[in-house]
Amino acid sequence: MTRRINVIGIGLGAAEHVTGQAIAAMNEVDVFLVPDKGESKSELLDARRQLCSTLISHSRWELRTIIDPERGPDAQRDAAQYREGVAAWHSARVAQYVAQIAALPDDAVVGFLVWGDPAFYDSTIRMVDQIAAQIDVDVRVIAGLSAIQVLAAEHRIPLNAVGEPVHITTGRRLAQEWTPEIGTVVVMLDGRLACRELVNRAPDSWIYWGACVGMPQQRLIAGRLAEVIGEIERVRAEVRAELGWVMDVYAIAPAPLGR
Ligand SMILES: C[S@@+](CC[C@H](N)C(=O)[O-])C[C@H]1O[C@@H](n2cnc3c(N)ncnc32)[C@H](O)[C@@H]1O
């Protein structure tokens, strides 16, 4: 027998986001390995535990938290230092995962529950590849509903203008990558609303912003960038004050989408 790893996209916390394929893959799992990111993210851990209780029909599953290694100060790093920092952090996590998995029975199925879809700004597949380079495992990946898709659905828009591209990037890279010809840009991992830097360069762009999309606390704002940026800042600060954290994602397009 070979141990198996199921990398499962779970959507954005609601049981209704989890596909039938993901539920079947969750039901195969004996041990879920979940990084413990500390107090501020414990709600995400609770959401995963709740999903397992709701969607798994056997009782042998177990959720094991793995203490997340120290990540270091990303904001002060340049791009090369950032990549090195992330690589070191992944290796430290991988070492912990390998130790846990190697101690399991040969026929065990291990699960990684990935927020959204594993294909977007998530390192689980890269880490599982590193695990597979060290121990014998079969790997399956199950797609999930991403914040990108839920943002578009909740705003009732297609992301691309007809025949035009969609560019997905991070807040960190937005200002350097944006050009008038780029089409729609979807921005994730933006802790400081980098779109503020486009207000003077592209005030007539259209922004579709969402915090906590697909969750009970969801907030949505859409409009001309220069006109709505102040409201987005205010609502974003409100959500952060209320929850202690905020996850937001937005799309910026040269003109309103879907009209
Ligand atoms: C590490 S990435 C993970 C993305 C995830 N794999 C996905 O497919 O949505 C985290 C970023 O996703 C976005 N995000 C995730 N969940 C979100 C939510 N419920 N509402 C708004 N943005 C969210 C935010 O931009 C956040 O900074």
pLDDT digits (tens, 9 = 90+) for 161-216: 999 999 999 999 999 999 989 999 999 999 999 999 999 999 999 999 999 999 99
Q: How many CA atoms lie within 13 A of 62 on its CB side?
A: 11
Both 159 and 129 in one domain: the answer is no
Q: Which CATH number goes with the domain that contains 209?
A: 3.30.950.10
Both 130 and 184 in one domain: the answer is no
Residue-wise pLDDT tens digits, 117-151: 999 999 999 999 999 999 999 999 999 999 999 99
| Inside any domain, residue 258 | no
Residue 22, domain extent = 3-142
Last residue of a domain, one of 142, 161, 188: 142
Both 90 and 155 in one domain: the answer is no
| Inside any domain, residue 165 | yes
CA of 16 to the centre of ligand 1 (A): 17
| Inside any domain, residue 233 | yes
Last residue of a domain, one of 88, 109, 142: 142
Both 100 and 166 in one domain: the answer is no
| Inside any domain, residue 9 | yes
CA of 247 to the centre of ligand 1 (A): 6
Last residue of a domain, one of 142, 165, 200: 142
Read off the pLDDT of each residue in 20-27 and give the average, rounded to a whole number: 98
Q: Does the model's pTM come out above 0.75?
A: yes
**What residues flank ligand 1, with Cβ below 6 Å?**
12, 115-117, 120-122, 146-147, 188-189, 210-215, 247-249
Give the CA distances from residue 259 to residues 13, 128, 158, 186, 228, in Å, rounded to whole numbers and listed in that order.
31, 42, 10, 19, 19
Residue to substitute in 249, 250, 252 for testing ligand 1 pocket (most ligand atoms within 8 angstroms of CB) = 249
* Beta strands in 68-153, from DSSP E residues, in sequence order: 109-114, 137-142
Both 9 and 123 in one domain: the answer is yes
Q: Which CATH number goes with the domain that contains 104?
A: 3.40.1010.10
- Among protein residues, the one with the nearest Cα to ligand 1's atom 25 is 188
Residue to substitute in 247, 248, 250 for testing ligand 1 pocket (most ligand atoms within 8 angstroms of CB) = 247
Residue to substitute in 121, 150, 185, 243 for testing ligand 1 pocket (most ligand atoms within 8 angstroms of CB) = 121
Q: Which residues pair with residue 253 across a beta bridge?
A: 206
Cβ pair 58, 27 in contact under 8 A:
yes
Both 160 and 93 in one domain: the answer is no
Both 36 and 101 in one domain: the answer is yes
pLDDT in the model for residue 167: 98
Both 36 and 128 in one domain: the answer is yes
Both 158 and 138 in one domain: the answer is no
Both 121 and 207 in one domain: the answer is no
CA of 231 to the centre of ligand 1 (A): 21
